[in-house]
Amino acid sequence: MYKELYKVWLQKADSLYQEELKAISKDDKAIADRFYQYVSFGTGGMREKLGGGTNRINTHTIRLAAEGLAQQITAQGDIAKARGVVIAYDTRHFSQEFAYETAGVLAANGIQSYLFKESRPTPELSFAVRYLAAYAGVVITASHNPKEYNGFKVYGEDGAQLTPKFADEIVAYMEAVENIFAIHTLSKQELQTSGYCIEILEKLDDAYNEALKTLVPTIGDKELKLVYTPLHGAGLVPTKRALTEAGFMNMHIVIEQAHQDGEFSTVNYPNPEEAASFEIAIELGNKVGAELLLATDPDADRLGVAVKNENSYNILTGNQLGALLLNYILLTKQQNGDLGTNSAVIKTIVTSELGTAIANSYGIRTFNTLTGFKFITEKIAEFEATGENTFLFGYEESYGYLAGSFVRDKDAVQIALLTAEMAECYKKQGITLLDALHNLYDRYGFYQEALLSFTFEGIDGQKRITSIMEQLRKHPPIEFAGIAVTQIEDYYIGNLNGLPKADVVKFILEDDTWICVRPSGTEPKCKVYIGVVKTNAKEAKESIEILKQTIHHTLEV
Does residue 522 carry a pLDDT above 80? no
The predicted structure's pLDDT at residue 526: 95
Same domain membership, residue 141 and residue 67: yes
* Predicted confidence (pLDDT) at residue 1 exceeds the cutoff of 90: no
Residue 182 and residue 250 share a domain: no
Across 35-49, average pLDDT:
92
Q: Quick one: pLDDT at residue 112? A: 98
> Rounded to an integer, what distance in angstroms lies between the CA atom of residue 236 and that of residue 252?
12
pLDDT value at 219 more than 90: no
Residue 244 CB coordination number (10 Å) = 11
Say whether pLDDT at 96 is over 90.
yes
Within this chain, do residues 391 and 420 fall inside the same structural domain, yes or no? yes
pLDDT of residue 457: 86
pLDDT of residue 524: 85
Tell me: pLDDT of 55 over 80.
yes
CB of 370 within 8 A of CB of 499?
yes
72 and 173 in a single domain? The answer is yes
Mean pLDDT confidence for 461-466: 93
Q: What is the pLDDT of residue 341?
A: 86
Question: Is residue 42 domain-shared with residue 164, that is, in the same domain?
Answer: yes
- Global pTM reads 0.95
Q: What are the residues whose beta carbons fall under 8 Å from the beta carbon of 34, sequence distance 6 or more?
A: 2, 6, 21, 24, 51, 52, 53, 54, 55, 56
pLDDT of residue 174: 98
**Bridge pairing between strands 303-309 and 292-296:** antiparallel
Beta-carbon contacts of residue 331 (< 8 Å; ≥ 6 apart): none
Buried b (16+ CB within 10 A) or exposed e, 402-421: bbbbbbbbbbbbbbbbbbbb
Q: Which of 95, 119, 126, 143 is catalytic?
A: 143
Q: What is the pLDDT of residue 556?
A: 84
Per residue in 250-266, pLDDT (tens digit) is 999 999 999 999 999 99
Residue 544 placed within a domain: yes
- Does the pLDDT of residue 420 top 80, yes or no? yes
**Exposed / middle / buried, residue 532 (Cβ in 10 Å: 0-12, 13-18, 19+):** buried
Q: Are residues 438 and 307 in the same domain?
A: no
Residue 272 has a pLDDT of 96
- Residue 148's pLDDT is what? 96
Q: How confident is the model at residue 395 (pLDDT cuts 50, 70, 90)?
A: very high
For residue 164, name the pLDDT band (cuts at 50, 70, 90): confident
- Our CA dihedral for 324, 325, 327, 333, rounded to 10 degrees, sits at 160
C-alpha angle 494-500-506 in degrees, rounded to nearest 5 = 70
Residues 326 and 394 in one domain: yes
- The answer, yes or no, to whether residue 521 has pLDDT greater than 80, is no
Nearest residue to 356 via CA among 323, 396, 403, 314:
323
Report the residue count for the chain: 557
Per residue in 112-123, pLDDT (tens digit) is: 999 999 999 999
What pLDDT, on a 0 to 100 scale, did the predictor assign at position 408?
98
Active-site residue, 143 included: yes
Q: Is residue 359 located within the same domain as residue 450?
A: no
What pLDDT, in 10s, does the model give residues 181-215?
Answer: 999 999 999 998 999 999 999 999 999 999 999 99
Kindly report, residue by residue over 435-450, the tens digit of the pLDDT: 999 999 999 999 999 9
**Same domain, yes or no, for 440 and 451?**
no
- Per residue in 352-384, pLDDT (tens digit) is 999 999 999 999 999 999 998 999 999 999 999
Asked if residues 306 and 314 have their Cβ atoms less than 8 Å apart, the reply is: yes
pLDDT value, residue 236: 98
- pLDDT, tens digit, 9 for 90 and up, residues 296-342: 999 999 999 999 998 899 999 999 999 999 999 999 999 999 998 89
The SS3 call for residue 143 is: coil
pLDDT band at 346 (very low <50, low <70, confident <90, very high): very high
Domains held by the chain: number:
4
Q: What is the pLDDT of residue 458?
A: 82
Q: Which residue has the higher pLDDT, 105 or 557?
A: 105
Report the distance separating Cα 110 and Cα 107, nearest Å. Answer: 5
Q: What is the CATH number of the domain that holds 482?
A: 3.30.310.50
Range(s) of the domain holding residue 530 = 446-555
Which strands, in side-by-side order, build the sheet including 483-490? 446-455, 525-534, 514-519, 505-509, 483-490, 479-480
**pLDDT(218) > 80:** no
- The string of DSSP letters for 74-93 reads HTT-HHHHHH-EEEEE-SST
The span from the CA of 165 to the CA of 154, in Å, is: 13
- Cα separation, 241 vs 40, whole angstroms: 37
Beta-carbon contacts of 231 under 8 Å, excluding residues fewer than 6 positions away, are 257, 264, 267, 270, 272, 277, 295, 296, 297, 298
Q: What is the CATH number of the domain that holds 363?
A: 3.40.120.10
What pLDDT is stored for residue 163 in this prediction? 87
CB proximity list for 460: less than 8 A, separation 6 or greater: none
**Phi and psi for 39 in degrees, rounded to 5?**
-50, 130
**61 and 97 inside one domain:** yes
Q: Last residue of a domain, which of 193, 215, 232?
A: 193
Question: Is the confidence at residue 523, as pLDDT, over 90?
Answer: no
